[in-house]
A and B are shown apart, each in its own frame.
Chain A
Amino acid sequence: MAKIIVVTSGKGGVGKTTSSAAIGTGLALAGHKTVIVDFDIGLRNLDLIMGCERRVVYDFVNVINGEANLKQTLIKDKRTDNLFILPASQTRDKDALTREGVEKVLNELAKDFDFIICDSPAGIESGAMMALYFADEAVVVTNPEVSSVRDSDRIIGMLSSKSRRAEQGLEGIKEHLLLTRYNPERVEKGEMLSVEDVKEILAIELIGVIPESQAVLNASNSGQPVILDTESDAGQAYLDTIKRLLGEQVPFRFLTVEKKSFIKRIFGG
């Protein structure tokens, strides 16, 4: 049975799509057949981050409306085996998703895949609710600043009250905290909330801390999930996150300021 993981945050621009792409790719690299579903109807982005924007023919809404079948619509990733993308529609809006339609598509995907990653839109309206409704687990993407933390708190409340698991009285959605854009230097200066601060406020289990990194922007611009950039700190942090998601115990990295070497200090860099 497939595991449905929603990547959500409440607030926009915190790194949901980047994280969805990285997590999906990471799970596929670990040998699990994975599909990433873009729930951001009308503001399609996942295809850009995954570098498959020129290969989108049909989309999620076409499948729901029966205008195309899943096989025609799923885009197979060219770099990573076991990885597929279900793109969102760019011409429709969030109301094009119906609960029955989404359920039908997810059930069909569940037959073939080990993991279904739902890339949620920002906000707490119908689109975001649709993305989280069927989830088994949730990755709550949060930046270390107060507005993002508050919005995450709100979304965690929704996960525990508005999901299928909550409505049917099943065991609740397993919530994971993914802290992105973390900058230890600014934390030290007191300009940014620390990991401990955020953990204390949100009170859910921490699954990863992704450092603020130029590599993330480069990866997005080149349409290549940052997790494939194994040299970068952000790529490595996502790899650690995947291991934790699969149940491994991995120590957290990139939480403290790196001491610059003597030579670097003189010549810069």
Chain B
Amino acid sequence: MSVLHCADLSPATLNTLLSAKLAQAPAFFMQAPIVLNLSDVLQTPDFTALKSLFTELKLVLVGVSGANAAQKIAAHAAGLAVLQVGKATVKTKEPASQAQSASSTAEASNDRRPTANAAPSIAPATMDSKIVEQTVRSGQQIYAKGTDLIIKGAVGAGAEVIADGNIHIYGSLRGKAIAGASGDTSKRIYCYNLQAELVSIAGNYWLSDSLQGKFWSNSACIKMQDDSLVISELV
């Protein structure tokens, strides 16, 4: 949901600002639900007036976040939802300090970091790989968000292993492996024994039919090259 941050909530100023913004992409914001963030605002605005302003601009004001006690009461009275500040907003401040303190060591050892996140100053300095110590059974699904996935065992038929980073499987891959799930084509899949139902890197996939041949039931590395998947020897 779109969140609007604005320090000056007088209807006139807001009208000018929003109209300018909406002119850029009128269809995109048509009847969009909007949450108003009040963390920079001290006084209690006239929520009823704001609501009618939003309606005029073909937007729907659904609630407020970051409100203080008085603002909450007023928002309730105007029939607006009072929401918690989203996690994403909080995160921007907190990990930044960690990143600075740990970045010198991490940057040298971790070459995937710059591509993993568009805003490196916000991301934590190092993302630990997700390590699974046992076999992934049929029907199980494992997702390594924003990092690599390492599996010390097999991936059974009907199981799915997904990572935004690379996938390493120290056993047979009989299920599905999806690397670079958030769209990073530089990610790879490594496995000891390739018998996969499906392999995919950044949305480009091959079914088991395309994997038959020299590398079937052998160790293999799958990567993207010139907009196509290629399989090569692991070592």
Residues A157 and B139 in contact in the complex (CB < 8 Å), given A150-B158, A201-B174: yes
Is there a chain A Cβ closer than 8 Å to B153's Cβ? yes
Could you say which of B134, B139, B156 contacts A201, with CB atoms under 8 Å apart? Answer: B156
Q: For residue B41, give the distance in angstroms from its CB to the closest CB of chain A.
A: 46
Q: How far is the CA of A146 from the CA of B197 in the complex (A)?
A: 14
Smallest Cβ-Cβ distance to B156: which chain A residue: A153
Smallest Cβ-Cβ distance to B135: which chain A residue: A203
Residues of A within 8 A of B158 (CB): 150, 153-154
Residues of B within 8 A of A156 (CB): 137
Could you say which of A150, A160, A200, A203 contacts B138, with CB atoms under 8 Å apart? Answer: A150
Residues of B within 8 A of A157 (CB): 136-140, 156, 159
A153 touches B134 (CB 8 A): no
Residues A150 and B157 in contact in the complex (CB < 8 Å), given A157-B139, A160-B134, A201-B174: yes
Q: Scoring B residues 133 to 164 as 1 if CB is less than 8 Å from chain A, else 0, what string do you get?
A: 01111111000000000000110111100000
Could you say which of A151, A158, A203 contacts B154, with CB atoms under 8 Å apart? Answer: A203
Which residues in window 151-200 of A have CB below 8 A to B? Answer: 151, 153-154, 156-158, 160-161, 200
Q: Scoring A residues 130 to 151 as 1 if CB is less than 8 Å from chain B, else 0, what string do you get?
A: 0000000000000000100011
A203 touches B174 (CB 8 A): no
Smallest Cβ-Cβ distance to A161: which chain B residue: B140
Residues of B within 8 A of A153 (CB): 137-139, 156-159
What count of chain B residues pass the 8 Å CB interface test?
15
Q: For residue B170, give the distance in angstroms from its CB to the closest CB of chain A.
A: 13
Residues of B within 8 A of A160 (CB): 134, 137
Q: How far is the CA of A46 from the CA of B154 in the complex (A)?
A: 35
Q: Which of A124, A146, A156, A203 has the most C-beta atoms of chain B within 10 angstroms of its own C-beta? A: A203
A203 touches B153 (CB 8 A): yes
Smallest Cβ-Cβ distance to A152: which chain B residue: B138
Residues of A within 8 A of B140 (CB): 157, 161
Q: How far is the CA of A201 from the CA of B139 in the complex (A)?
A: 15
Residues A154 and B154 in contact in the complex (CB < 8 Å), given A160-B134, A201-B174: no
Chain A residues near B (Cβ < 8 Å): 124, 146, 150-151, 153-154, 156-158, 160-161, 200-201, 203
> 8 smallest A-B Cβ distances: which pairs?
A157-B137, A153-B138, A154-B138, A153-B156, A154-B139, A157-B140, A153-B137, A150-B138
Q: Mind listing 21 A-B residue pairs with CB under 8 Å? A: A150-B138, A150-B156, A150-B157, A150-B158, A153-B138, A153-B139, A153-B158, A154-B158, A157-B137, A157-B138, A157-B140, A157-B156, A157-B159, A158-B137, A160-B134, A160-B137, A161-B140, A201-B156, A201-B157, A203-B153, A203-B154
